[in-house]
Structures are given as structure tokens and as C-alpha cells.
Amino acid sequence: MSRPGSARRVAASVRHEAACVADSLNRVSETVVSAQNSSVRALAPANDPAFENVWDELVWRGLVHVSTDQEALRALLGGDPITYYCGFDPTAPSLHLGNLVQLLTMRRLQLAGHRPLGLVGGSTGLVGDPRPSAERTLNTKETVAEWVGYLRSQVERFLSFEGDNAARIVNNLDWTAPLGAIDFLREIGKHYRVGTMIKKDAVAARLNSDAGISYTEFSYQILQGLDYLELFRQHGCVLQTGGSDQWGNLTSGTDLIHRVEGVHVHAIGTPLITNSDGTKFGKSEGNAIWLDPAMCSPYRMYQFWLNTDDADVIERLKIFTFLARAEIEEYERLVDDEPFRRAAQKRLALEATTFVHGTDATTAVIAASEALFGQGDLAALDPTTLRHALEELPNATVAAGTPVVHALVETGLVPSLSEARRAIAQGGVSLDGAKVDDDTAVVTGTLPGAVSVLRRGKKTLAGVFVG
């Protein structure tokens, strides 16, 4: 079967990797929304026109792991605009890559014309949903309130607050704080059956563990059900999205609305993303990939995507980018035919990092990556980006004037001073891009930000922070 002309054009553009990256940066740059009252990032201009119904696109991208009635959902999402919501609890000062799945799903639905509600859990964050292993440590009210502000600003970056389907941000503390315990038990608690509640996966796992479960976390599903009921009443919300591990909490709301209002509403549970080798997605050397650049630099995020395994990269392109189906299928062919080019990984890193951190930061990251490996000018790099890049390498902090031989040892590039001198004598050491041919040479930190880059051989690098 011959490929359509559009696919052939995609193939031609993808083969020219440098041109592809440049064109992509220009395209993404055009989609960055600059707003005075919000920090909206690179909002995708449209969903894939190959899909007439956004439900079909969600299914193709692998974003529907579990849901309420699929035929009803397809009809709902293919009809008049609806209001939907997703909740984010402030259990940390930043969202992470798992949350990004939800943010991107919300954005896809908004691009299809539907109205998003981003819920930040000022009350549910005080309780915490049940973890599979042990009870959560409860944070102070002051900490939770502070984190609510952080998460709200992050959610706002990924949605549009203009037009007929403008997004809204809500805080569930607004309707739970005035609610007394007796009223909560009489008006909401009476609709829940303990036998049903203990069958929820998260609760059942804890009941069967040594840790058990407190009444506080056991009640979490009631609070989330109340959220859905309130949003249904206040905004006509008829769809909630979330991770499939939250399915018990999602259906808590659909069940409550059916009992109280006699109306059928819907829920979609997205899959939990795992790597093909069974390791946990969203971790890099044991550390979470956060969306806050102060907790995870754009450089580190870019490298995380760039290191995606061939077996995982196409799935990641479907979930974490807005590339069209034809283009993703072409990258799939390239992974099979020309894996050494890592074209799919480069495009994934470009698109995902730009969506989170914007065009300027991503451009600086790519320049730093190229300069570190001899394809750019180290002295022309942004100081912050260069420092972040060097923090991801073996590194050491030394005083100005430290001999290069000592810096080689302190950064771990060589095991001893004698080995350092031998490496220099053999012509295998460079400092800031210049070959070191004298073992009395010293580190000066002449690059932006008072840093230096040590290289042993062609590919072994280390960062040196002078101070």
C-alpha cells in the first residue's frame, strides 16, 4: 500500500533533522500566547484534523484506560460543548509529569470546544488521597494554602482563559470550609455505603496492608464525590478526568450525582504511564520530573525526554505532544528504520519541553546541549542554562587558579593525579573547548556564570564551578 502524499511530505521533512528542529521551534514560537494576566505557555493551535471527534483521538492516543459508557461519551464529546473538570491536590509545591498527562488531556478537550474547570484541592489537599503503602503526612494549613497558589499558577499556564469556552479555576475549600460536620454527614455521608467504599482499589489495598487506613483518608472519596456534585450544580459539569489509579474516587462522584440528582454523568481514567522495562515513568536517577523550573531545570527535563527508550518514544509522542497522527506514524517508521538518528526522541524533547517551559528556555537548552558536545560556542550560552547543564554532569566546586590536574580528579574524570598528567600528555584533555597541553594549566572559570567545562576524550565531560 502506498503512503498518502501528506505522509511522504512528512517523511521528507523528518529526514532533515536540523531543518525539522528549526521549523518546529519557529512553529512553536508562533503558538506561544503572551498574556499580561497569565503565563500561558505554548498552547497547541488545534487537535489533529484527522479525527472528527475528540473521543476518537483520545482513544488513539491511548488516553482512555477506563471510562463510563463509551458510546455515551463519544456522543457527548462529539456534540455541543460540555463542562468538564480535573482536580489537582497540593501535596507538593509543584505538579509533575503524571499531572502533565491530565493537563494535556484537558487542553485537548478544550481545543475541541469544551469548557474546562481546573480544580485545585484546598480542602482535599489537607486530607490527602490514600496511598497504596502508608498514611500520608499531613501538611500544615499554611503550607497547603501556599501550595494551592503554586499549583493554581501552573494549571493556568496550560489552558486558555479566553473565548466562549474559557477555562475557570476553582478551589474546593470554597464549598467545604462552610460545611459543618453534622451537615456533611447528613447531606453527603448518608448516600455512601461502607461496603462499597471498602471495595475501592486504593482503600482495599490499605485495608490489606500492615499500615491499615485512617478514617481521614478513608473519607477522601466522599470529599471528591462532593466536589463533582458541587461542580455539577454550580457549572453543569458532566465529565471528570483523572488517572486510572483514582478511578474509585472518580466514580464516587458519578455515583453521588446519580443518587442525589438522578442524572448520569461521566468519568475518564487515563492510564498510568510506565516504561517498557517496568520502571516508573517520570523519574530521572531517582528524582521526580517536576514542572516547576526551580525544582527541575528545563535542561534536565529536555534530557529526560531525549533519553526515552525506542520502545517507549511513540507512545510518549502520542500522549505528550500535539503532533498529528500522520507525523507520529512517520516517526514510528524512523524508529524502526533509522533508530541511530533518534529523530523521534529529539522531536519529543523539543515539543514537550517547549509546552512546559516555553520557546526561549527550550532554545537555550538545545544550544547548551550542542555547545557541550562541540557544536556551538560555550561562551555564548545563557549562564543559568549552562549551570543547569553542568549540574547534570559529574562536577566539582574549586577555587580560582586550581590546577586542571586537580580538577580532573575532583570531578571524577580520572582516579589520580598521575592519571590526570598522563591524559594531558596524551592530548586527551580540553578546558572550555581548548586543548590543554601543559599540566600546570589552571581553571579560571571564564565561561558565563564563572564555570568551566572539562573534557576527557571525545565524550566524557564534567562541570567545574569556580568560587
131-159: pLDDT as tens digits: 777 788 889 999 999 999 999 999 999 99
Helix 359-372 / helix 17-31 crossing angle, nearest 10 deg = 160
**What is the distance between the alpha carbons of residues 207 and 210, in angstroms, rounded to a whole number?**
8
Final residue of a structural domain among 242, 272, 302: 272
The Cα 212–Cα 86 span in angstroms is: 28
Question: Are residues 408 and 261 located together in one domain of the fold?
Answer: no
Domain end (from 254, 272, 290): 272
Mean of pLDDT values over 93-99: 95
- CA 423, CA 456: separation in Å to the nearest integer? 8
Q: Could you tell me the three cell numbers for 361?
A: 528556555
Asked if the model's pLDDT at residue 112 lies above 60, the reply is yes
- How do 395-398 and 168-171 pair as beta strands? unpaired
Q: Is residue 5 part of a domain?
A: no
Whole-angstrom CA distances from 296 to 24, 107, 293, 353, 393 are 23, 23, 5, 11, 15
Note whether residue 375 is domain-resident. Answer: no
> CATH number for the domain including 57?
3.40.50.620
**Integer CA distances (angstroms), 431 to 77, 137, 413, 428, 453, in order:** 58, 47, 13, 11, 6
Whether 47 maps to a domain, the answer reads: yes
Judge if 72 and 218 occupy the same domain. yes
pLDDT at 285: 56
Query: Quick check: 4 pLDDT over 60?
Result: no
Could you give the number of structural domains in the chain? 2
Q: Which residues, in sequence order, are CB contacts of 375 under 8 Å at separation 6+? A: none
Q: Do residues 263 and 403 share a domain?
A: no
CATH number at residue 449: 3.10.290.10
259 and 406: one domain?
no
In a domain, 39, yes or no: yes
Last residue of a domain, one of 237, 272, 307: 272
Residue 107, domain member (yes or no):
yes
Helices (H), 285-416: 298-306, 310-320, 325-337, 343-357, 359-372, 383-391, 404-410
Kindly list the distances between the CA atom of residue 169 and the CA atoms of 119, 156, 232, in Å, as whole numbers in the listed order: 6, 8, 15
With cell 549540574, the residue in question is 391
Q: Is residue 378 in some structural domain?
A: no
pLDDT (tens digit per residue) in 273-318: 988 888 878 766 557 899 999 999 999 999 999 999 999 999 999 9
Q: Residue 283: its pLDDT value, please? A: 65
Residue 460 domain boundaries: 393-467
Confidence of residue 332 (pLDDT cuts 50, 70, 90): very high
